[in-house]
Amino acid sequence: MSHPSYRRVAVTGAAMSKFAKRPNDATHDIAWPVIKQAIQMSGFDRREIQAAYCGSAFGGRLVGQRALRPLGMLGVPVVNCENACSSGATAFREAWLAVAAGLYDVVLVIGVDKLTALGGGVLPGQAECHEVAVGLSMPALYAMRARRYMHEHGVKVEQLAQVAVKAHRHGARNPMAQFRTEITVEEVLASRPVAEPFTLMQCCPTGDGAGAVVICAADRIPAMGGRAPIWVAGTHLTSGIYTPGIRDMTTPEITVRGAKALYEEIGIGPDDIDLAEVHDAFTIAELLYYEAFGFCERGGAVDLLMSGNSSIGGRIPVNPCGGLLCKGHPVGATGVAQIVEIVTQLRGEAEARQVEGARVGLAHCTGGGIAGLDHGACAITVLTR
């Protein structure tokens, strides 16, 4: 939520690691090179960073301090944020709030996770959750959404698989992506089943990685070697509404509500967005989010996908980096990495995956399975050039 007295905030530095399986690297060794790169890009000296906000879902305690210690940067306030898949995006929002409200002028945001430390497979659920206790997992939850959506809108598995094909077509152009190869519908459907209708290639991979950005108040923009500051038009964080009874799983309540609130707050609509990074943890998710953000009508997501208008070169390119499906999803890193991608795109530095003329980009990070909620958390940020 914004406030008339809030200051304008800009991103000046943004960097991420290649997402990959790095079981032999410590979490702090995944994070510090990225933090160093972001600060060097930002135009600030490390001693000008007044606070750090770190998002991590599975990194354990004091992840921010562990990441900053190798850089000799401690002694400032460090806020560690856990909000499931939205951990990094939540850290960004809290950092933005601190700068916008005047608490600090220059702040670092980190997102990092090392999922290979969990041993692979499906992410652990909350054992205390009664739905997890009877066999629910994130793939199964999204799979149930998918099956209902397919039932109601007459969608075929081949069309669902096209989301993964598009993700890999984009990700093949992204040197930071976990996968760099294009795939076919046949390959997607022939990969091993995980939770029907999903095969492996319709699920984001486990992996390790980090992202970091430096933000500052408008009156503290430093020289950045010719790079433009990228402005935070608005950022919105919310939690899912507890709806324990019968509810429609084919429309993502938390994202629909968050998108509407942010659009109204900053006075834009879906037609003003030039590109979007949405939380495509599974193929169905990207389709649901086309509709949630108003990029198409309800039930029109497959048509939007198949038209090519959500691809690079189309009307509203979605996940030009490859998205979670192809770039990867080290959970706490994702929200920050999405911001990095938008900043890179708005600066015109995305090379082979560049969305030409992009001036407004949206990043959307939601997740966390809790019974009775669409998702636990959802953070949406709009950045402008």
Partner 1 sequence: MSEDSTAAEQIWAVPDAIDHDSDGVPRLVAGHCAHCVATYYPRPQLCPTCWSEDVRKVMLPRVGRLYSYSVVHTGRAGWQTPYLLGAVDFPEINTRVVGVLKGPPDWRPALDSSVRVGVGQICSDAKGAPVFAHQFHLEN
Q: Residues 178-197: x/- map of binding to partner 1 (CB under 8 A)?
A: --------------xxxxxx
Q: Which of 72, 242, 267, 271 is the binder for partner 1 (CB under 8 A)?
A: 242
> Pseudo-torsion of CA 280, 285, 291, 293, nearest 10°?
-40
The verdict on 134 binding partner 1 (CB under 8 A) reads yes
The verdict on 130 binding partner 1 (CB under 8 A) reads yes
Q: How far is the CB of 123 from partner 1 (least distance, A)?
A: 10
Closest by CA to 212, choosing from 9, 17, 10, 8, is 17
DSSP state of 57: S
Could you tell me if 156 and 302 are in contact, meaning their C-beta atoms sit under 8 angstroms apart?
no
Count the site residues for partner 1 by CB under 8 A. 33
The verdict on 61 binding partner 1 (CB under 8 A) reads no
Q: Which of 151, 264, 306, 352 is the binder for partner 1 (CB under 8 A)?
A: 151
Report H helices in 293-369. 301-307, 323-326, 331-346
Give the total residue count for the chain: 385
Q: Residues 278-317: x/- map of binding to partner 1 (CB under 8 A)?
A: ----------------------------------------
Nearer to partner 1, 131 or 182 (CB): 131
The verdict on 122 binding partner 1 (CB under 8 A) reads yes
Q: Which of 28, 114, 145, 329 is the binder for partner 1 (CB under 8 A)?
A: 145
> Is residue 54 among the annotated active site residues?
no
* Active-site residue (options: 85, 321, 365, 378): 85
How many Å apart are CA 174 and CA 143, to the nearest integer?
Answer: 28
The verdict on 144 binding partner 1 (CB under 8 A) reads yes
The verdict on 133 binding partner 1 (CB under 8 A) reads yes
As beta bridge partners, residue 214 has 13, 108
Q: Which of 125, 209, 229, 323 is the binder for partner 1 (CB under 8 A)?
A: 125
Q: Which of 4, 72, 245, 357 is the binder for partner 1 (CB under 8 A)?
A: 245
* Strand-pair category, 106-114 with 377-384: unpaired
Nearer to partner 1, 18 or 148 (CB): 148
List, in order, residues 6 or more apart from 286 with CB less than 8 Å away. 163, 167, 278, 280, 301, 305, 310, 318, 319, 323, 325
Q: Residues 346-365: x/- map of binding to partner 1 (CB under 8 A)?
A: --------------------
Q: In this structure, which long-range contacts are made by residues 194-198, counting pairs with CB atoms below 8 Å and at least 24 apart in sequence?
A: 194/139, 195/137, 195/139, 195/140, 195/142, 195/143, 196/143, 196/147, 197/143, 197/146, 197/147, 197/150, 197/157, 197/160, 198/139, 198/142, 198/143, 198/146, 198/282, 198/283
The verdict on 156 binding partner 1 (CB under 8 A) reads no
Three-state DSSP at 309 gives coil
Task: List, by residue number, the catalytic residues.
Answer: 85
Residues that bind partner 1 in the complex, under the rule CB under 8 A = 121-122, 124-125, 130-131, 133-137, 139-140, 143-145, 147-148, 151, 192-198, 242, 244-247, 249, 371
